[in-house]
Structure 1
């Protein structure tokens, strides 16, 4: 769920998942692992800040639109 939302935000921003990982100082493949593991609050905050959304929006079942 979280990865899908991040992927959709990346598509809207016209950046690759790898670019998001680089810009947020994550290792390659980190975001895709979030399908099976729970990221730390600090890492969620980095991604939320990157996209200009709240952590709640990342975790919500609703579609994020910007």
Structure 2
């Protein structure tokens, strides 16, 4: 779910996921790793801030992603 939201955000904003990871201060491959493992809460917080949404919004599942 988290990976799909970030992927959709990056596509809408024409930015590579690797570039987005750097903007968030995350290591290379961190976000793509979320397809097979659970992310750390501090990583999710960084992503939410960079996306301009709340952590709750990032954690909420929705059908538009």
Q: TM-score, normalised by structure 1?
A: 0.84
2-side partners of 1:35 and 1:6: how far apart?
11
RMSD of aligned Cα (Å): 1.3
* Cα offset, 1:32, TM superposition: 0.5
Q: TM-score, normalised by structure 2?
A: 0.85
Unaligned segments of structure 1, at least 5 residues: none
Unaligned segments of structure 2, at least 5 residues: none
List structure 1 segments (4+ residues) > 2 angstroms apart after TM superposition: none
